[in-house]
Amino acid sequence: MKRINDIFYSLQGEGHHTGRAAVFVRFAGCNLRCPFCDTAFDTYREMTDDDIVAAITAYPARFVVLTGGEPTLQVDEAFVDLLHQYGFEVAMESNGTRPAPRNLDWLTVSPKQKPVKQHCHEVKVVFSENTDATTFGLEASYYYLQPCDTGDAERNAAIINRCVDYIKEHPEWRLSLQTHKLVGFK
């Protein structure tokens, strides 16, 4: 049984796959408690792997994003294999503090502390007023800075401006905006 916070169909709103139709499986529970996290940890339902597959195959996209919380607490290679058997391309968004299944098609690591994983497809750092963009030694094909959404328009504008300036000075980074919040979809 897996603890599932939510399963929904939308567009990927951030990072390399921005704008791509995706089924999101949001797992409950995390080993970190980041103040900007948008997941309600206390609300979840227990689902079997077959229940999850039945829910996500109801949608036309065959790109699934395993997110959380921290999905590595519940996802293993057997579950990824099962999703592959149903024709899904499997992406995961992780904080990198636990080993991720090796058979993922795409791994995004958003490090908040030294990760155990040393290779991933993309690194996404949430950027705020006090951020020093660091990869924590992660090797990736893409490095993104994502301005932290504080809920305060004036503060957000200042963070975005600082983020843009930082990227101009450090061109190995790319800007990732949370387009789902800008456009107004889940």
Residue 124's SS3 state is strand
Strand segments, DSSP code E, in 32-83 are 45-47, 63-67
- Residue 119 is a catalytic residue: no
pLDDT at residue number 115: 85
Answer yes or no: 180 catalytic: yes
Query: Tens digit of pLDDT for each residue in 2-27?
Result: 999 999 999 999 999 999 999 999 99
> What's the pLDDT at 180?
62
pLDDT at 9: 97
**120: annotated active-site residue:** no
**Is 37 assigned a catalytic role?**
yes
**DSSP annotation of 172:** T
Among candidate residues 14, 17, 27, 30, the one labeled active-site is: 30
List of the chain residues with pLDDT < 50: none
- Cα angle: 95, vertex 176, 83; to 5 degrees: 50
- In whole angstroms, give the CA distance from residue 19 to residue 147: 18
Catalytic option among 6, 131, 150, 180 = 180
Catalytic residue among 63, 72, 79, 93: 93
Q: Nearest Cα to 61, choosing from 95, 96, 87, 84? A: 87
Q: What is the pLDDT of residue 11?
A: 95
Catalytic residue chosen out of the listed positions 14, 16, 17, 39: 39
The answer to whether 34 is a known catalytic residue is: yes
Q: Which of the 8 DSSP states describes residue 139? A: B
Respond yes or no: is residue 30 known to be catalytic: yes
